[in-house]
C-alpha cells in the first residue's frame, strides 16, 4: 500500500503551495488510495479468525484517531494534547446517548462526532492567543478537566468504574455477534476510508494550504489575509469530527466505556503513531498505526518486555529518521530506485 | 482553628513537594527549551533506588544522598541519549515530548520488572508524630516542610551567586552568545538535566517516606508540576516556587471545603482561566531567563 500512495513531501516550502511541482498529482494519489483500501477490504478473506480481525479493527480505530491528530499537530502545527479527550468525549457521548437517552446507535454515532467537534471549538477559544508549549499545557489541562468531570459525575458516567452493556451497532437484521466480526470490520474500514478521504481532500484544499502557511510563517500568512482565529478553529474542528466518531465506534464495538481512554498510556501510543509515521502526511499516521498495533500483538509473548522494546524502537526511529516511517520508506525507495536506474 | 491549621499545614506540605518537582521542569525548560515528560519517572526511580540501598543495609543518612547523586547521573544519561541528538531540529519540542515519554515508559516498565508491582515504603526522614494546633502530623512531613525551602534557597544561591550557576542562566538567556564566550553549552545542558533529576529523585524519597511507592507513582506529581509551572510562569525559578505553594494551599482549601473529587476539576478550571488572561503565568516577567 505504501509505495503506491507515495505521500506528499515533508518539505515545508513545497507543502505550503497547493500546486507545487513536487506534489503527487491527485490522479496518482486516487489510484493509490483505491488500491490501498481495496487491499485492506480483502484482508478478511485471508484472516478468517475473529482475533486477527479484532486486531485489524483496533488498528483501524487507532488509524482514524492518529491521522486526525496529524491534521492538527502536523499540518496545523497546533500542539493539541487534548486530542484523546475528543476521542473520549466520543466514547462517552455515544454511551450516554444510547444508554440514557435511548438514541438509535447510528444517530448517536453521528451525534458523537458533532459533540466532539463542538468540544474542539470550545477548547480552541483559550488557545487562540497561545503558542507552542502553552498550547500543550492548556489542551492537556482540558483533557484532565474532562476526565475529572466524568469521574466526579459517577452517578451518570459510572465514574472510575466506567459503563457496561452499551448498545452496539446494527446492520438490518444481520447478526453482529456470530459473523466473525466481519460487519464491524467493514464498518471500521468504511469509517477509516471516509476519514482519510476527508483529511486528504482537506489538506489539499486552499484551507489546508492556509493552515500550513500559518504554521510555517504566521506573520506572513496573516499579512496575506489568512485569519488565524478562523483557521485554527477550523483545524481543530475538522480534526475532531472523525475522532469523535471513532470514539463512538470504539464504545459500540467494545460495548463498554472506561476513563482509561483519557490516560497517558493511550495518548502516548497514539502520539507515537503520529510521530513514528511522520507528521504532515496523514498516510504516515495510518501506516504507523498498523505497524505498531500488529507489532504489539506480534510481541505479546514478551510480556513485560513489550512496552520496553516498543519504547526503544520509538526512540531509535525518532533519532535516526526524524521524518518517521514515511521518511524511512522514501529514503529506502529512493536508494532502490537509484540502484535500478544506474545499470540502464 | 483546626480547619485553618489543617489547610495551612496541608498547603505547606503539598506545596513543598510540588515546588521540588516544578523547579526541575522549569530548569530544563529554560535552559534547553524542551519539556521533560520523564520527570515523573525520575521521581519514582529516585525513591526506588533509595529503597534498594536501604534494603541492602545502608543507613538512610547514606542511602538518600547516594540515591540523589545516582539520579543526577541518570538525568545526564537521559539528556545525552534522547535530548541532545535532537537539538537543532526544527520540531524539537514535539519530538522531545515523544522521546522523553518513551524513555519514561522504558524506565517505568524496567522498574516494574526489577522491583515488581508490590507497594514499598522507605524509612521516614524522622520517625514519629506530633500535634500542632489540634492537627496530628508526622515529623517526616514537618521535616519536608523545613528542608524544601533550604534546598530551593541553595539552588537560588547556586544560580545567582556561583560562576557555574551564572553560566547556566547565560545559556538560558542566549545560547549563541554563550557559545561565543566559550561556555560548554553541551555540558551545561547535561547539568540542567542532572540537577532536575536529582531534585525529582529527592521529591520521590520524600514521598516514599509517607506513602506507598509504586512504579507509576510519578505520573500524578508530573501532572501537578506541569500545572504549577504553567501557573507560575515557565520562564523563571521563583515563579514556579511561589505557584507551587499557592496551588498547595488552593488544593488543601478546596479538598477541605468542596471535597477530594472536585479539587482536580477546580484546579484545571483555574489553570485554563489563568492562561486565557495571562498566558505567560502569573509570576512571570515577559522575558525568558532563569531566577
- State which residues of chain B have pLDDT below 50: 287-291
In the prediction, which pLDDT does A5 show?
Answer: 40
Nearest residue to B42 via CA among B169, B147, B193: B193
What pLDDT, in 10s, does the model give residues A205-236?
A: 888 888 888 888 888 888 888 888 889 899 99
In the prediction, which pLDDT does A20 show?
Answer: 47
In the prediction, which pLDDT does B235 show?
Answer: 67
**Range list of H helices, B35-138:** 39-55, 60-78, 92-115
For helices A182-204 and A26-46, the axis angle rounded to 10 degrees is 170
In the prediction, which pLDDT does B284 show?
Answer: 62
Which residue, chain included where needed, has cell 538535566? B193
What pLDDT, in 10s, does the model give residues A255-307?
A: 888 888 887 778 888 888 888 888 888 888 999 999 888 888 888 777 778 78
CA dihedral A271, A272, A276, A282 (to 10 degrees): -30
In the prediction, which pLDDT does A29 show?
Answer: 83
Query: Would you say residue A23 has pLDDT above 70?
Result: no
Distance CA A111, CA A103 (A): 10
Distance CA B152, CA B157 (A): 9
**A72-99: average pLDDT:** 91
**A41-67: average pLDDT:** 89
**A132, A275, A311 member nearest B105 (Cβ):** A311
Note whether residue A328 is domain-resident: yes
Give residue A161's domain range. 2-339
In the prediction, which pLDDT does A22 show?
Answer: 52
Q: β-strands B135-138, B129-132: how paired? A: antiparallel
Per the structure, the count of domains in chain A is 1
Among chain A, residues having any CB pair with chain B shorter than 8 Å are 73, 79, 125-126, 129-130, 132-134, 136-138, 140-142, 144-145, 148-149, 151-152, 264-265, 268, 271-272, 275, 279, 304-305, 307-308, 310-312, 314-315, 318-319, 322
Nearest residue to A249 via CA among A36, A14, A64: A64
Length of chain B: 291
Look up the ipTM and state it.
0.81
Q: Which helix (H) or strand (E) holds B135?
A: strand B135-138
Q: Are B105 and A322 within 8 A, CB to CB?
A: no
Size of interface A-B (CB pairs under 8 A): 119
Q: What CATH number does residue A67 fall under?
A: 1.10.3470
Chain B: nearest CA to A22, how far in angstroms?
21
Percent of chain A surpassing pLDDT 90: 27
What pLDDT, in 10s, does the model give residues A91-106?
A: 999 999 998 888 899 9
Note whether residue A43 is domain-resident: yes
Cβ atoms of residues B205 and B68 within 8 Å: yes
Q: Are A264 and B219 within 8 A, CB to CB?
A: yes
Nearest residue to B230 via CA among B92, B29, B61, B44: B29
Q: Which helix (H) or strand (E) holds B138?
A: strand B135-138
**A140, A152, A314 member nearest B98 (Cβ):** A314
In the prediction, which pLDDT does A277 show?
Answer: 84
| Higher-confidence position of A263 and A41 | A41
Model confidence at A14, in pLDDT bands (50, 70, 90)?
very low
Note whether residue A253 is domain-resident: yes
Note whether residue A344 is domain-resident: no
**A58-65: average pLDDT:** 95
Query: Where in chain B are the domains?
Result: 19-217
In the prediction, which pLDDT does A343 show?
Answer: 59
Nearest chain B residue (CA) to A152: B261
The DSSP secondary-structure symbol of A280 reads S
Q: Are A275 and B98 within 8 A, CB to CB?
A: yes
Amino acid at each position: 500500500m505504501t509505495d503506491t500512495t507515495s505521500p506528499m513531501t515533508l518539505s515545508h516550502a513545497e507543502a505550503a503551495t497547493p500546486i507545487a511541482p513536487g506534489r503527487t498529482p491527485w490522479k496518482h494519489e486516487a489510484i493509490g488510495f483505491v488500491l490501498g483500501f481495496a487491499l485492506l477490504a480483502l484482508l478478511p478473506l485471508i484472516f478468517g479468525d475473529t482475533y486477527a480481525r479484532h486486531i485489524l479493527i483496533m488498528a483501524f480505530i487507532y488509524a482514524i484517531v492518529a491521522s486526525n491528530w496529524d491534521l492538527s499537530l502536523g499540518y496545523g502545527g497546533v500542539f493539541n494534547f487534548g486530542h484523546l479527550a475528543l476521542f473520549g468525549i466520543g466514547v462517552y457521548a455515544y454511551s450516554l446517548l444510547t444508554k440514557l437517552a435511548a438514541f438509535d446507535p447510528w444517530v448517536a454515532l453521528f451525534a458523537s462526532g458533532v459533540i466532539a467537534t463542538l468540544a474542539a471549538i470550545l477548547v480552541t477559544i483559550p488557545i487562540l492567543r497561545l503558542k507552542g508549549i502553552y498550547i500543550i499545557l492548556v489542551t492537556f489541562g482540558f483533557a484532565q478537566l474532562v476526565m475529572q468531570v466524568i469521574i466526579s459525575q459517577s452517578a451518570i458516567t459510572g465514574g472510575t468504574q466506567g459503563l457496561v452493556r452499551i448498545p452496539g451497532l446494527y446492520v438490518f437484521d444481520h447478526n453482529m455477534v456470530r459473523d466473525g466480526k466481519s460487519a464491524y470490520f467493514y464498518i471500521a474500514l468504511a469509517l477509516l476510508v471516509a476519514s482519510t478521504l476527508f483529511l486528504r481532500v482537506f489538506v489539499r484544499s486552499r484551507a489546508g494550504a492556509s493552515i500550513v502557511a500559518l504554521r510555517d510563517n504566521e506573520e506572513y500568512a496573516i499579512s496575506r489575509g489568512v485569519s488565524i482565529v478562523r483557521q485554527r478553529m477550523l483545524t481543530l474542528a475538522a480534526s475532531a469530527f472523525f475522532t469523535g466518531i471513532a470514539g463512538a465506534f470504539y464504545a459500540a464495538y467494545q460495548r463498554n466505556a472506561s476513563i482509561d481512554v483519557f490516560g497517558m498510556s493511550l495518548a502516548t501510543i497514539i502520539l507515537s503513531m503520529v510521530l513514528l509515521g511522520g507528521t504532515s502526511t496523514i498516510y504516515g499516521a495510518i501506516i504507523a498505526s498498523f505497524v505498531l498495533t500488529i507489532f504489539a500483538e506480534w510481541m505479546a509473548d514478551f510480556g513485560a518486555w513489550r512496552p520496553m522494546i516498543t519504547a526503544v524502537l520509538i526512540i531509535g526511529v525518532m533519532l535516526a529518521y526524524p521524518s518517521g516511517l514515511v521518511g524511512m520508506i522514501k529514503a529506502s525507495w529512493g536508494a532502490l530506485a537509484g540502484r535500478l536506474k544506474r545499470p540502464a | 482553628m483546626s480547619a485553618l491549621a489543617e489547610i495551612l499545614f496541608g498547603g505547606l506540605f503539598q506545596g513543598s513537594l510540588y515546588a521540588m518537582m516544578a523547579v526541575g521542569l522549569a530548569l530544563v525548560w529554560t535552559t534547553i527549551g524542551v519539556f521533560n515528560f520523564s520527570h515523573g519517572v525520575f521521581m519514582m526511580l529516585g525513591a526506588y533506588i533509595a529503597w534498594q540501598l536501604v534494603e541492602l543495609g545502608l543507613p538512610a543518612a547514606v542511602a538518600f544522598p547516594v540515591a540523589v547523586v545516582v539520579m543526577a547521573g541518570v538525568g545526564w544519561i537521559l539528556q545525552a541519549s534522547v535530548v541532545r541528538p535532537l537539538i537543532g531540529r526544527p520540531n524539537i519540542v514535539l519530538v522531545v515530548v515523544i522521546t522523553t515519554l518513551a524513555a519514561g515508559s522504558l524506565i517505568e516498565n524496567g522498574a516494574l520488572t526489577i522491583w515488581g508491582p508490590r507497594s514499598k515504603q522507605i524509612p521516614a526522614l524522622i520517625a514519629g508524630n506530633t500535634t500542632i494546633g489540634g492537627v496530628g502530623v508526622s515529623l517526616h512531613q514537618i521535616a519536608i516542610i523545613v528542608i524544601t525551602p533550604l534546598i530551593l534557597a541553595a539552588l537560588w544561591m547556586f544560580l545567582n551567586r556561583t560562576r557555574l550557576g551564572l553560566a547556566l542562566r547565560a545559556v538560558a538567556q542566549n545560547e549563541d552568545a554563550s557559545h561565543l564566550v566559550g561556555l560548554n553549552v553541551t555540558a551545561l545542558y547535561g547539568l540542567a538535566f542532572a540537577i532536575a533529576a536529582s531534585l525529582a529523585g529527592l521529591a520521590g524519597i520524600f514521598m516514599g517516606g509517607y506513602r506507598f511507592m509504586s512504579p507509576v507513582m510519578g505520573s500524578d506529581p508530573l501532572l501537578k508540576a506541569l500545572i504549577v509551572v504553567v501557573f507560575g510562569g515557565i520562564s523563571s525559578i521563583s515563579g514556579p516556587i511561589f505557584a507551587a505553594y499557592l496551588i498547595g494551599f488552593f488544593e488543601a482549601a478546596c479538598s477541605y471545603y468542596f471535597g477530594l473529587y472536585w479539587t482536580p476539576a477546580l484546579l484545571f478550571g483555574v489553570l485554563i482561566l489563568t492562561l486565557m488572561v495571562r498566558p505567560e503565568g502569573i509570576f512571570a516577567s515577559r522575558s525568558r531567563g532563569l531566577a
